[in-house]
Chains A and B, each alone.
Chain A
Amino acid sequence: MVLNNDIIEKLLEKYENGETSLKEEQQLKNYFSQETVAPHLEMYKPMFDYFLGNQQEQFTKDVPLKTKKVINYKWISAAAVAVLMLGFYLKSNTNNDLGTYQDPEIAYNEVTKSLEMISKTFNKGTSTVGYLEEYDKGASTLGYLNEVENATNIIFKTNQ
């Protein structure tokens, strides 16, 4: 570096007016990064030192980059809507067909037919209840056992 003080002073003046080019500013930075500078320019040194030092500062934190989640939510909601629609569609299909009769006469006949069927099967059920009588009969024959006991009591009494 063969920059004499005159040139530096001129550059500094331009610098303070914001008129230096990046190249000239680089020259200034180089000059002031030397160990020794002209004593009357010393106060500029920390400024340029600071600018150069600050350039070294780095961002070290990690940035969590995530996007797949957003897309997933979209697809999940779409799928949920599809499932709901399908459910409503199927449900409405089965609900429509109740097997309703339009003609009242046929409806009447069908009702009596099904009522008859109900009474027939109901009667079948009550008839099987009849078997319970047999149980009563059995229980009453057990009464004879008492008679036997009476008789034996009499016999033992006479023995005594």
Chain B
Amino acid sequence: MTQKEFLNIVMPFKDKVFRLAKRLLISTEEAEDATQEVLLKLWNNKEKMEGYKNVEAFSMTMTKNFCFDKLKSKQAQNLKIVHNNYEDANTSLQKQVEVNDSVNWVARIIEGLPEQQRVIIQLRDVEEYDLDEIADMLNMNNTAVRVNLSRARKAIREKLTNTHNYGIK
């Protein structure tokens, strides 16, 4: 497989990989590193890649696992205390400026969800994957995905209703 053929396969979903990584790792830089890592792993295993029936789904699973590992090792290092150091200056500045912007509230609310729900919201409501596809990617069954999705959506709506009411009252 040449570099060009590889890029033709990878290009359509590299942004999705990046967005999923960012959803989990929050910082743009870390998400970029994770995306690079995932794409390089794919490139190094490009001979095997032809055997996969769905490279995109496989890559999303790989990204999820990679990010979960990253988060776990971060917890092990107790870096949680200095949470700010992996939130790049760029977005935090933006956040300060647009702190009242309700769209940003959504980002924050999603950040507060459990990891599993964040992944599912990302895959369904942003990337618009089929429920079966998501179940496949996350190695879960269809119902479990649906339940988690429903919980995540309700949680987001609840928090948004609260902040919305604050704005009015």
A: which residues have CB within 8 A of B?
A: 15-19, 22, 25-26, 42-47, 49-51, 53-55, 57-59, 61, 63-65, 67
Contacts and interface: CB of A to CB of B under 8 A. Distances in A.
A49 B22 CA distance: 18
B125 A16 contact: no
Contact of B150 (A18, A54, A64): A18
Contacts of B147: 18
B106 A59 contact: no
A63 B36 contact: yes
A45 B130 CA distance: 23
Interface stretch (B54-62, B66-74, B79-87, B156-164): B156-164
A122 to B, nearest CB: 73
Contacts of B102: 45-46
B154 interface: yes
A59 B15 contact: yes
Interface string B92-103: 000000000011
A61 B127 CA distance: 20
Contacts of B126: 51, 54-55
Interface in B112-143: 125-128, 130-131
Given A51-B125, A63-B40, A67-B43, A18 B130 contact: no
Interface string B25-62: 00000001001100110011000000000000000000
A65 B157 contact: no
B106 A22 contact: no
A65 B102 CA distance: 40
Contacts of A64: 40
A18 B107 contact: no
A70 to B, nearest CB: 9
B3 A65 contact: yes
Interface size class of B (residues with CB under 8 A): 35 or more
12 contacts: A18-B153, A25-B125, A26-B128, A43-B160, A44-B160, A46-B105, A53-B103, A54-B126, A57-B15, A57-B19, A57-B22, A63-B43
B160 A67 contact: no
Contacts of A43: 157, 160-161, 163-164
Given A46-B105, A50-B107, A16 B150 contact: yes
Given A46-B103, A46-B105, A58 B154 contact: no
B130 A57 contact: no
Contact of A65 (B18, B43, B161): B43
Given A22-B128, A22-B130, A50-B107, A44 B157 contact: yes
Nearest to A43: B164
Contacts of A25: 125, 128
Given A55-B126, A65-B6, A19 B146 contact: yes
B24 interface: no
A22 B105 CA distance: 24
A25 B128 CA distance: 9
A65 B7 CA distance: 10
Nearest to B120: A18
Contacts of A44: 157, 160
